[in-house]
Structure 1
Amino acid sequence: MTKPVNIREIALGILMEITEEEAFSHIVLRQVLEKYQYLEKRDRAFITRVVEGTLEHMIQMDYIIEQFSNVPVYNMKPLIRNLLRMSIYQMKYMDSVPDAAVCNEAVKLAQRKGFYNLKGFVNGVLRNTARRINHVKYPDPKTEPLHYLSVKYSFPIWMLSKWVAQFGYEKTEQICRDSHMERPTVVRCNLTRASKEEIIEDLEAQGITVRQHPYLDYALEISDYNYIKSVSAFRKGWIQVQDVSSMLVAEVAAPNWGDTCFDVCAAPGGKSLHIADKLMGSGHVEARDVSEYKVRLMQENIDRANLINIHAVLRDATVRDEASVQKADIVIADVPCSGLGVIGKKQDIKYKMSEKQQQDIIRLQRRILSVVQEYVKPGGVLVFSTCTIGADENQYNIKWFLENYPFRLESLDPYICDELKDRTTKGGYIQLLPGVHRSDGFFIARLRRLDAPGDEGFYFDEDEEDENGKKRY
Structure 2
Amino acid sequence: MDSYRIKVVETLKKIFKDKSYSNIVISNDIRNIDLRHQALYRKSVLGVVEHLMFIDWIINQMSNTKTKKMETDVLVVLRLAVYQMFFLDNSYENMVVSESVQYIKDKGNIRASKFVNGVLRNILRQKKELLEKMEHLPREEYLSVKYSYPAELIKRWQLQFGKNKIEEVLSANNAEAPLEIRVNNMKISRDELLKIFNEKGIIAERCKYAHKGIRILNPIETDKTEEYKKGLFSIQSESSMLAGQILNPAEDSLVIDMCAAPGGKSLNASEIMNNTGKILSRDIYPGKLSLIEKEKQRLGLNNIKAEAYDATVTDETLIEKADFIIADVPCSGLGIIRRKPEIKYNRTEAEIKEILNIQLKILENAAKYLKRGGMMVYSTCTTNKEENLDIVMEFLKHNKGFALEDFSDKINDFPDAKKGYIEIYPHVHGMDGFFIAKIKRL
Same-fold status (TM-score > 0.5): yes
Pick the aligned partner of 2:195 from 178, 198, 201: 201
Aligned CA distance change for structure 1 residues 447 and 15 (closer, same or farther; 3 Å): same
**Partner AA of 1:236 in structure 2:** K
Deviations 1:172-213 (CA, angstroms, capped at 9, x unpaired)? 322221233334311121111112232112222321011122
Contact 1:252/1:412, CA 8 A, preserved across alignment:
no
Pick the aligned partner of 2:95 from 75, 91, 101: 101
**Partner AA of 1:445 in structure 2:** A
Pick the aligned partner of 2:410 from 378, 403, 416: 416
**Partner AA of 2:179 in structure 1:** T
- Where do residues 443-458 of structure 1 align in structure 2 (5 Å cutoff)? 443-450=435-442
* Match status 1:437 vs 2:429: yes
**1:453 counterpart residue number:** none
Contact 1:175/1:434, CA 8 A, preserved across alignment:
yes
> How far apart are residue 138 of structure 1 and its match?
4.5
Deviations 1:69-123 (CA, angstroms, capped at 9, x unpaired)? 1222223233322221111111122333322222222222223335433222211
2:165 partner SS? helix
**1:298 counterpart residue number:** 292
Pick the aligned partner of 1:250 from 244, 254, 267: 244
**1:389 counterpart residue number:** 383
**1:285 counterpart residue number:** 279
> How far apart are residue 434 of structure 1 and its match?
0.5
Contact 1:272/1:285, CA 8 A, preserved across alignment:
yes
Aligned CA distance change for structure 1 residues 177 and 375 (closer, same or farther; 3 Å): same
- Where do residues 154-233 of structure 1 align in structure 2 (5 Å cutoff)? 154-233=148-227
Aligned CA distance change for structure 1 residues 383 and 407 (closer, same or farther; 3 Å): farther
Q: Distance in 1 between matches of 2:258 and 2:66?
A: 45
* Match status 1:311 vs 2:305: yes
**1:6 counterpart residue number:** 3
Q: Which stretches in structure 2 are left out of the alignment for 5+ residues?
A: none
> How far apart are residue 331 of structure 1 and its match?
1.2
**2:340 counterpart residue number:** 346
Contact 1:409/1:445, CA 8 A, preserved across alignment:
no
1:208 partner SS? coil
Pick the aligned partner of 1:84 from 55, 74, 78: 78
Equivalent pairs counted in the alignment come to 441
Q: Distance in 1 between matches of 2:364 and 2:411?
A: 31
Q: CA RMSD in A?
A: 2.1
2:282 partner SS? strand
**1:23 counterpart residue number:** 20
**Partner AA of 1:100 in structure 2:** N
Deviations 1:377-399 (CA, angstroms, capped at 9, x unpaired)? 22322211000001121122122
Contact 1:202/1:232, CA 8 A, preserved across alignment:
no
Q: Percent identity?
A: 34
Contact 2:411/2:417, CA 8 A, preserved across alignment:
no
Contact 1:260/1:329, CA 8 A, preserved across alignment:
yes
Contact 2:382/2:433, CA 8 A, preserved across alignment:
yes
> How far apart are residue 264 of structure 1 and its match?
0.9
> How far apart are residue 298 of structure 1 and its match?
0.8
> How far apart are residue 139 of structure 1 and its match?
4.3
Aligned CA distance change for structure 1 residues 153 and 30 (closer, same or farther; 3 Å): same
**Partner AA of 2:419 in structure 1:** G
